[in-house]
Amino acid sequence: MESTSRCPMIDFDHNSPEHSADPAGSYRGIRESVKVGWTEAHGGYWVLSDYASVFDAARNDDVFSSRRTKYGGEGLSVVIPKTPHHDHIPIELDPPEFRKYRKIVNPVSAPAAVEKMKSMVDRHVAGFIDSVIEGGKCDLTSVIGVPSIVTIEWLGLDVSEWRRYSEAHFQVLAGIPGTDEHTRAVEVDFPYLANRIRQRIADRRAEPRDDIISYLVRQEIDGEPLDDHDTFAIVDLLISGGVGTTASLVSNSLVWLARHPDVRRRLIDDPSLMDHAVEEFLRYFSPTQALARTVLQDIEFHGCPMKKGDRVLLSWASANRDPELFDNPDEVDIDRWPNRHTAFGIGVHRCAGSHLGRYMSRALIEQVLQRMPDYEIDFDALETYPRQGVNTGYQRIPTIFTPGKRILTDYTLM
């Protein structure tokens, strides 16, 4: 490690195979040495690894911007490297413009709105488990598809295509660029799905229904109807946030519980522990590992000379393992409370879907534990996400369990 004009330098790439093999350990190395460092990977960017620096940057939108700029190339501004992608609103906006759009999103993601969705979520959870429960074995990731189908139905898109939405977004965030799967997602699936979304927006303008797209097309910004571009940008963000993060959290949590039967038994015997357990899983696994910002002005930040145009990675995952804030941060403690984790972000950009994400996570984990209490995972056959720089999780979880009975007679998994 050496000091330069962008001191201190670190050897780090959150998209590398080395990082994906042990994300927590990779961040720990930075946090225990420099806390804030500069890497030359992907054209160069700062890495914020401790709670204090992540907290301060996330709450300073005047300096650490989320909007698209010329710096760092073209594409989605909140990831490094930027990826070719449609605009995402409001995550790619800064205040005060950000607040105009967030005001539209908040009512449909608030606790009261989630309360109305619970029966729909519960039905899909039951239906997905029903699809495998009689066989006594499954790939547990097939059950974890619930967040995808819930998101697509909630928005008002074609539910029969939920798998395609899920796979396309997975490939962009966690797949390997250059593979056939990643190329198909970028060149075939995303253009197809974008056209489907735009057509549904047009349909709902002509004939509104009781869904989120119908709600969005009736909204206004500065006294003018929300146009097709902005409606699409909001919908695409809601899909991106809805189909991957909760699945990531649940897959990590269920694998961990399989390794820790004593904690699993506590949760089975006393479901009232689940809320605090979910918060601890959010802290420990941090399904969205990190997001990016762009520096808008020269600044001395936590002892480092940052320049206008510098790209910055805010690691929620690393902040959540900072021993300055959390006792025994590398251990899961389902009794940990209070739990000031950063899994949903910090500041104005804090995740609007946190309430729904929490409920879906609890419903999935709770029902798997209740209906498959003795599930066993073939740990040798587990497959993690190929890239774990943005989301972590498992793409294959071979599982056996005592067969059970279906509980829904009128549910067909599409």
Mean pLDDT of the chain: 96
In order of their start, the domains of the chain are 17-400 (1.10.630.10)
DSSP codes joined into one string, 260-329: -HHHHHHHHH-GGGHHHHHHHHHHHH-SB-EEEEEE-S-EEETTEEE-TT-EEEEEHHHHTT-TTTSSST
Can you give the pLDDT at residue 5? 65
Can you give the pLDDT at residue 6? 78
Would you place residue 223 in the very low, low, confident or very high pLDDT band (cuts 50, 70, 90)? very high
For the chain, what percent of residues have pLDDT higher than 70?
99
Answer whether residue 2 shows pLDDT above 50: no
**Which tens digits make up the pLDDT trace of 346-394?**
999 999 999 999 999 999 999 999 999 999 999 999 999 999 999 999 9
Q: Which residue has the tokens 């996330």?
A: 58
Task: Name the residue type at position 282.
Answer: L
**Which tens digits make up the pLDDT trace of 118-140?**
999 999 999 999 999 999 999 99
Answer whether residue 3 shows pLDDT above 50: no
96: cis peptide before it, omega within 30°?
yes
Within 10 Å of residue 248's Cβ, how many Cβ atoms? 27
- The whole-model pTM stands at 0.96
- The rounded distance, in Å, linking the Cα atoms of 244 and 169 is 7
